Amino acid sequence: DAKTTQPPSMDCAEGRAANLPCNHSTISGNEYVYWYRQIHSQGPQYIIHGLKNNETNEMASLIITEDRKSSTLILPHATLRDTAVYYCIVRVAISNFGNEKLTFGTGTRLTIIP
Amino acid sequence: DAGVTQSPTHLIKTRGQHVTLRCSPISGHKSVSWYQQVLGQGPQFIFQYYEKEERGRGNFPDRFSARQFPNYSSELNVNALLLGDSALYLCASRLQGVGYTFGSGTRLTVV
């Protein structure tokens, strides 16, 4: 799986959009970008994933650059409950129940400020 | 709907002992994975099981073992505990086509 690079920490004002960057310059054509977050002392929570097109769901939007070497997770209206560690993971599509290892880095600690 | 449930939530063991951690996946989820998370780091993959067969193994010593039962629940066993095994142990289950759902974990402290 390709290596990802994320800033160790970020702050965002409550109500503003939080934009979390991730670099994955060695990503392969068949690798997806997954985002998870982990609120203190809980298990990671799946947020969103994408291949090359921008994706949006009820939690967030994922913007992937055209060359796919970087991406940005956008939380449109951050709340205090969005304070968490956010992990960007790159791997081949999880399918056919083969080896489904997720490689977590150290992530970005996002703090939402009142 | 019940999420992924893990038991116990916390436990304390002595060096050299063994421990069994349990995981019940979401109903209908047949794939279960185990992760170890030490303080300040991201989760590290230990095992993945599907239909009672091991489908993946991380870089952990043979003291770590696991199995999956016909009802898709799973156990993680760790023998000869070391202080460095102190961590949050996470179980995750998945339905084909979507991302993993993680449990809240078991906090293991080895003294």
Q: What is the pLDDT of residues B55-111, one digit of tens each?
A: 889 999 999 999 999 999 999 999 999 999 999 999 999 876 667 899 999 999 999
Cis omega (within 30 of 0) on the bond before B8? yes
C-alpha distance from A41 to closest chain B C-alpha (Å): 7
* A contacts of B52 (beta carbons < 8 Å): none
C-alpha distance from A87 to closest chain B C-alpha (Å): 8
- State whether A99 and B41 contact (CB < 8 Å): no
Helix (H), strand (E) counts: chain A: 0, 9
Tell me which residues of chain A, numbers 46 to 105, contact chain B at a CB-CB cutoff of 8 Å.
46, 49, 85, 87, 94-95, 97-105
Which residue has 């893990």 as its token pair?
A: B6
Task: List pLDDT tens digits, range A12-48.
Answer: 999 999 999 999 998 988 888 999 999 987 899 999 9
- CA–CA separation, B49 and B24 (whole Å): 13
